[in-house]
Amino acid sequence: MTALRLLSSAARRAPSALTLQRRGYAEVADKIKLSLVLPHQAIFTSTDVVQVNISAASGDMGILANHVPSIEPLRPGVVEVVESGNTSKKWFVSGGFANVHPGNKLTINVVEAAPLESFSLEATRANLSEALKVAAGNGSEEDKIEARIEADVYEALQHALGSK
């Protein structure tokens, strides 16, 4: 018997063993307990927030209460935290992972994060230009790859600052 048929057969025989939860829409009063953590610092620790917007590798996404549990790799971009009263705070992150847990809990682990307002658009443009020169230059392959990664981060930062 194939594994799928065996699993299906077992599920039919013991329906009471499987409990299915119904997903619903988030209520306005529902909150998420957010933990935003760096290796050396915790920015949020189980703090109640309304919504978190992330730059996932699969695309930008907003996370509300009652979100389906998932693990999302993060690309360089903005993590926006919407608190009560529709106030929001934005951080630029270099990458990491967002883990949506059952029970309205969200953990975001990143290597680097800084408030978006701490960056300068002019400095970002200058650094991007320099990284692109190195990536297109005659240096070693290692230098070119590092410069391309650096340029990707600066491009994401420039985009975030342009849409601030």
Segment 25-40, tens digit of pLDDT: 555 558 999 999 999 9
Q: What is the pLDDT of residue 139?
A: 86
Residue-level pLDDT, tens digit, the chain, 164 residues: 455 554 555 555 554 444 455 555 555 558 999 999 999 999 999 999 999 999 999 999 999 999 999 999 999 999 999 998 889 999 999 999 999 999 999 999 999 999 999 999 999 999 999 999 999 988 899 999 999 999 999 999 999 898 65
User: CA distances (Å), 55 to each of 48, 58, 74, 76, 123, in order?
Assistant: 20, 8, 6, 7, 22
- How would you classify residue 47: left for phi > 0, otherwise alpha for psi between -120 and 50, otherwise beta? beta
The pTM of the full predicted model, rounded to 2 decimals, is 0.76
Q: Which residues pair with 34 in a beta bridge?
A: 47, 106
Q: Which tokens belong to 107?
A: 């953990």
Q: Which domains does the chain have, with CATH numbers?
A: 32-115 (2.60.15.10), 121-163 (no CATH)
- Using DSSP, state whether 54 is helix, strand or coil: strand
